[in-house]
């Protein structure tokens, strides 16, 4: 009986001994998995890079799996500059926030779609900020923290003339100052034309993600600041 092949993306890799790597992988059914792989399979030296889908076989009963075989399933997405930093940011979010070995069927699809969107950004036919925000909010949904863009914490429809604050585990509450409801409605409807809407989405996502990420800074944000 042949071992099953699984689609996977490499989120992160680090050296392990002279000829091995420890990979952080994202798979649909297994979720985020750590696995050891040899850099050379027979006579072939593998280009094990992120932003490329692979098909692989895993073995092992401990948390650290072993990659028995791995092959390219599609060409790599070739990013550069801020788009590359953005891809690294997506990978870091998944590594930091997605629990070990939790199935990730929908997240896998969202992640793959986001890479496709980043490629459009690289080609100049899409905007970067909406791509990042949509991934962040989709990740929050998959983590069990969806945002209701239509109603406040009391179940009342958001009123375009009002402002709202975000309350953790409650939702939006009316406030004298805060996020303008029209911007929130725009985000929920995928209407990203307004710079104020994009700015609102960035501020909101950072506020919601902050307690989940904890005090350790995101390494990928340093790339943006340095670049």
Among 99, 84, 128, residue whose Cα is nearest residue 33: 99
The pair of structure tokens assigned to 71 is: 């092959």
Distance from C-alpha of 214 to C-alpha of 97, rounded to nearest angstrom: 10
- Whether 42 contacts 34, CB under 8 Å: no
Distance from C-alpha of 12 to C-alpha of 3, rounded to nearest angstrom: 24
Average pLDDT (4-33) is 94
Of 17, 42, 72, the position where a domain reaches its end is 72
The pair of structure tokens assigned to 141 is: 């949904």
Same domain assignment for residues 215 and 132: yes
> Is residue 1 one of the residues assigned to a domain?
no
Distance from C-alpha of 180 to C-alpha of 185, rounded to nearest angstrom: 9
What CATH number is associated with residue 40?
2.40.50.140
Same domain assignment for residues 67 and 133: no
The pair of structure tokens assigned to 205 is: 């996502």
Cα Dmax for the chain: 66
Same domain assignment for residues 184 and 123: yes
Among 66, 56, 76, 59, residue whose Cα is nearest residue 20: 66
Work out the pLDDT band at 1, boundaries 50, 70, 90: very low
pLDDT confidence of residue 43: 55
Among 119, 86, 93, residue whose Cα is nearest residue 26: 93
- Whether 179 contacts 203, CB under 8 Å: yes
> Is residue 107 one of the residues assigned to a domain?
yes
Angle at 99 between CA 94 and CA 101, to 5 degrees: 105
> Is residue 19 one of the residues assigned to a domain?
yes
Same domain assignment for residues 151 and 204: yes
pLDDT confidence of residue 39: 81
What CATH number is associated with residue 153?
1.20.1440.120
Mean pLDDT of the chain: 94
- Range scoring the smallest mean pLDDT among 7-21, 36-50, 172-186: 36-50
pLDDT at 114 over 80: yes
pLDDT confidence of residue 50: 96
> Is residue 49 one of the residues assigned to a domain?
yes
What percent of the chain has pLDDT above 90? 87
Same domain assignment for residues 29 and 125: no
Of 27, 55, 72, the position where a domain reaches its end is 72
Same domain assignment for residues 184 and 94: yes
pLDDT confidence of residue 10: 98
The pair of structure tokens assigned to 132 is: 């990042």
Distance from C-alpha of 129 to C-alpha of 57, rounded to nearest angstrom: 35
Q: Which residues contact 134 (CB under 8 A, 6 or more apart)?
A: 114, 117, 190
Residue count of the chain, please give it: 227
Residue range(s) defining the domain that contains residue 32 = 6-72
pLDDT confidence of residue 42: 56
Same domain assignment for residues 56 and 155: no
Same domain assignment for residues 216 and 115: yes
> Is residue 128 one of the residues assigned to a domain?
yes
pLDDT confidence of residue 191: 97
Same domain assignment for residues 187 and 101: yes
pLDDT confidence of residue 90: 98
Of 72, 93, 113, the position where a domain reaches its end is 72
> Is residue 177 one of the residues assigned to a domain?
yes
pLDDT at 225 over 80: no
pLDDT one-digit tens code per residue, 25-72: 999 999 999 999 988 765 566 789 999 999 999 999 899 999 999 999
What percent of the chain has pLDDT above 70? 95
Work out the pLDDT band at 138, boundaries 50, 70, 90: very high
Same domain assignment for residues 34 and 101: no
> Is residue 171 one of the residues assigned to a domain?
yes
Burial of 42 (C-beta count, 10 Å sphere; 0-12/13-18/19+): exposed
> Is residue 133 one of the residues assigned to a domain?
yes
Same domain assignment for residues 47 and 96: no
Q: How many domains does the chain have?
A: 2
- Whether 7 contacts 30, CB under 8 Å: no
Same domain assignment for residues 115 and 63: no
């Amino acid at each position: 009986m042949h071992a099953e092949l699984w689609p996977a993306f490499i989120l992160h890799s680090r050296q392990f001994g002279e000829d091995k790597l420890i990979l952080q992988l994202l798979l649909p059914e297994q979720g985020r998995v750590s696995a050891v792989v040899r850099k050379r399979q027979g006579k072939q030296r593998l280009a094990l890079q992120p932003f490329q889908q692979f098909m692989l076989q895993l073995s092992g009963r401990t948390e650290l799996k072993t990659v028995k075989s791995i092959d390219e399933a599609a060409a790599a997405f070739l990013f550069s500059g801020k788009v590359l930093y953005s891809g690294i940011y997506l990978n870091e979010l998944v590594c930091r926030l997605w629990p070990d070995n939790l199935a990730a069927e929908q997240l896998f699809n969202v992640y793959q779609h986001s890479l496709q969107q980043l490629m459009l950004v690289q080609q100049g036919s899409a905007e970067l900020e909406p791509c990042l925000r949509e991934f962040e909010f989709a990740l929050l949904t998959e983590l069990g923290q969806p945002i209701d863009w239509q109603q406040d914490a009391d179940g009342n429809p958001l009123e375009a003339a009002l402002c709202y604050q975000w309350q953790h585990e409650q939702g939006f509450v009316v406030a004298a100052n805060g996020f303008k409801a029209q911007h929130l409605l725009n985000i929920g409807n995928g209407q990203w034309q307004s710079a104020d809407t994009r700015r609102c989405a960035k501020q909101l996502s950072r506020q919601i993600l902050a307690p989940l990420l904890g005090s350790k800074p995101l390494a990928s944000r340093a790339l943006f600041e340095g670049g």
